[in-house]
Amino acid sequence: LDGGEPVQVSWFTHGGGTPRWSPDGRRLLVTARLPVTAIEGSPPWPSARPDAESAPKEPAADEAAAAAAVPPRTAASLRRWLDRRAAEADPRVFTRLDFQGELALAGPRERSRAAVLTLADRVLGGAAGDPADPEPAAGMQWATRGFDETLGPEWLDGGDRVVFATAPDDRIDPDRVERRVLASTDPLGGDRRVLVDLAEWTLQSPRPSGDGRLAFLARRIDQPSDRQWRIGVVDLAEAAGPVRDVAAVQWLTDEAGFDHSVRDPRWHAGRLLFTAAVRGGFPLMSVSAGLLEPAPVVDRRDGFPIGVHGFAAGSGTIAWAETHPANPCVLRVRVGEREVVAHDLN
């Protein structure tokens, strides 16, 4: 934060993102994507068609068997396989949107995992060090494993656990997952527990409060194109096991009082900040258990609705990126009741 050269702390082949600092400030919780074919073992779900996921991972015994294997797992071998089949007039070549999403167009299927990076002391001390230093900048440990999809991981219980959204059963084909539950593991990937599992609801974006409460987004699955994402809160300290009863959830928004889909809730000073599409804008809103309905933090400027598509909050300060017809790209900061323009890119 005091300047200097950046230090690379991760080496994920397929990229990483959504970093979250641990409460002790020494670890980063990140997500990384892995191709299904790069994960050890075979997917537990039945394959709907022969492809790289269902093909045996052992190499074929000879060239003839390799030529007949369906289909290979790399782009180069896939092209060779298709060339051989095309020379035999099988398959015929089509150009139709009906085939969008097949292996040749969509690429291999991937899974998202959570990883914990423990930063070296020299990195935490602000020293970039020698790139040839044998000591890595960070040690990496997978917090989730296998073929499960890990979405929106966050620190829980002061950094002792990781909470995330995932499918209720890893034997379900990813294309057929209709709903997700909230689960947690320890940072080493053990002691997995289901925290919230609501039948007929899909859950995402877990947000621990630090005092035992867990907020999340929920949507009914009966009419997914019409239903709105709502904010629910459960008290994990009072729950003896997984929360499965909808009556045990405190709903801070509902379709009767706030008929808008909630996005990206974040705890701040005992309340939840979030954005939503409302009357032509994307205001920054707040809600808590003591409010009958969400209240705008900032929704209009100079008589026009604004758009807030990214924000952060902490220690009494709220910062957000604001879009307005007169100023399309502005970074604003509010400390208490005082609001300033931190950066104007117009």
pLDDT tens for 2-23 read 556 777 888 888 888 999 999 9
Question: Do the beta carbons of residue 222 and residue 242 sit within 8 Å?
Answer: no
Provide the pLDDT for residue 172. 84
CA-CA distance, 186 to 142, in Å (whole number)? Answer: 10
Q: What percent of the chain has pLDDT over 90?
A: 47
- The verdict on pTM exceeding 0.95 is no
pLDDT of residue 132: 47
Nearest to 78, CA basis, from 41, 96, 56, 105:
105
As beta bridge partners, residue 213 has: 235
24 vs 56, more confident: 24
- The confidence score (pLDDT) of residue 67 equals 54
- Cα–Cα distance for residue pair 193/184, rounded to 1 Å: 5
Note the pLDDT tens digit of each residue in 298-313.
Answer: 999 999 999 998 999 9
Residues sharing a CB contact under 8 Å with residue 178, sequence separation 6 or more, in sequence order: 202, 221
Residue type for position 321: A
Separation between Cα atoms, residue 174 and residue 189, nearest integer Å: 21
Under the banding of pLDDT at 50, 70 and 90, the label for residue 129 is very low
For residue 255, the 8-state DSSP code is T
How many angstroms separate the CA atoms of 27 and 116, rounded?
A: 7
Secondary structure of residue 123 in the 3-state scheme: helix
Nearby residues of 3 by Cβ (< 8 Å), 6 or more positions away: none
Q: What is the mean pLDDT of residues 42-65?
A: 58
216 Cβ neighbours under 8 A, 6+ residues apart: 165, 182, 196, 203, 204, 205, 206, 207, 231, 232, 233, 234
Q: How are beta strands 151-156 and 138-142 bridged, if at all?
A: unpaired
Q: What is the pLDDT of residue 338?
A: 92
What pLDDT does residue 89 have? 60
Q: Give the tens place of pLDDT for each residue, 324-340.
A: 988 899 999 999 889 99
The pLDDT of residue 185 is 95
The answer to whether the beta carbons of residues 7 and 123 sit under 8 Å apart is yes
How far is it, in rounded angstroms, from Cα 56 to Cα 65? Answer: 12
Q: What is the pLDDT of residues 145-199, one digit of tens each?
A: 888 889 999 999 889 999 999 999 988 888 788 999 999 999 999 999 999 999 9
Farthest-apart Cα atoms in the chain, separation? 74
pLDDT at residue number 264: 94
Angstrom distance (rounded) from CA 266 to CA 251: 15
